[in-house]
Structure formats: C-alpha cells, structure tokens
Amino acid sequence: MISAEVYLALLVALALAFGGRAGIRDRLRLGPTSARAVGLALAAWLAALAATGAAHLVLGGVLGSPRELWDMLMRIGSDFGRLSGAGPLLIAVIALRACLLAPLGEELLFRGALFGWLRQHLNAPATIALTAVVFAAIHQTPVLLPYAFLIGTAAAWVRERTGSTTPFLAVHLLSNALLVTLAYALTGWNPSP
C-alpha cells in the first residue's frame, strides 16, 4: 500500500510541478505516439533483454547467474510473495501499482523530467547514460543492476530518438504486466526464497 501511495504522490507532484495535464503532455513529452515509435520501443526493450541475458551468461560470477536474475524477477512479479496470500482488494492495489503507477511514475520522472532537464545541459549520449545509471540505482538489487541499466539505456535512447516518453511507457506497462502474469503462471505468486 505504501509504495502505491508513494507512486501516486510522485505523479501528483510531477503534475503540480510541470503544470498539470498540459505540462505533462508538453514538458514531460507524454502524448499521442505512433505505432512505429511503439515498435521501436519494443525492439529496444527486446534488445536490452537479450543483452542482459548475454551479460549474465558471460559474467555470471560477477553479476549473478541468469537463474538468479530470473528468480529475482519472479519474486518482483509476485511482489515478493505477498500476492500469493493476498485478498482481491490487495491484489488489485498491488497490480495497479506494479502495472500502472510504477511504469507511469518512473517514465515521467526518468524519461520525462530528468531526461528533459539533463538534455538541456548535456549531449544525448551523456543524458542517456546518466538517466540509465540513476534508473539502475533505484532498483538497488545487485543482480538487477545490469537489467535496469540496459532497460534504462533503451528507454532513454527511445526518448531521444522519438522525442516522447509515450512509446517506452507503453512497453514498460506491457513489461510489468507480463512480469506479474508470468510470476502467477509459473509460481502461483509463491516464488522461491
């Protein structure tokens, strides 16, 4: 519940700071997009997933094995097992947070506000790298750092390429919904410890 409230507060703060709905659309670049831009974001996401898998295969001793990464993703998708014993209301709140509030808040913060501000002061490669590093840092778990960094890099690259936060937001929404669904299908939301 608390993390849902935090993401909701973040969204309200961003709306207030950037001028409401119009500011989010114009200043944070969240507006209509094309199917081509969403396809580009999907391709970038898949490339980041493939690069993450390759990195864990090659550097498993340092980064953690692909199995460790998979297990962590299943724990995240089940909200660390909290979904397995949750009632319908708690499942709805967790799913809303995981599949809507978190992607929306993270994309508006990192690819909207932070990217937009940094891009006014830095070139594209530096902006992409810095936003990816900060995005990875908030995910904190060592085995997730390469995954979060590569996803952050892909998202920022798409933001630079399309000028919009919307295409990768669509992919982020899909990714989180897929993760929650896979965690249920494969573990019953009861992941290994």
State mean pLDDT over 34-51: 98
Nearest to 155 by CA among 37, 72, 6: 37
Better pLDDT: 41 or 81: 41
pTM of this structure: 0.93
Look at phi and psi of residue 35 and say left if phi exceeds 0, alpha if psi is from -120 to 50, else beta. alpha
Token pair for 163:
């000028």
- Rounded Cα distance between 38 and 101, Å, is 19
Strand, coil or helix: what is 59?
coil
Taking the CA atoms of residue 16, residue 25, residue 109 and residue 150 in that order, the dihedral angle to the nearest 10 degrees is 180
Q: Model confidence over 117-161: pLDDT tens digits?
A: 999 999 999 999 999 999 999 988 899 999 999 999 999 999 999
> Alpha-carbon distance 92 to 139, whole Å?
23
For residue range 71-117, list pLDDT tens digits in order. Answer: 999 999 999 988 888 899 999 999 999 999 999 999 999 999 999 99
b/e map of 83-121 (b: 16 or more CB within 10 Å)? bbebeeeebebbbebbbbbbbbbbbbbbbbbbbbebbee
Q: Are 173 and 72 in contact (CB under 8 A)?
A: no
pLDDT range class, residue 193, cuts 50, 70, 90: low
* CB within 8 Å of 35: residues ≥ 6 apart: none
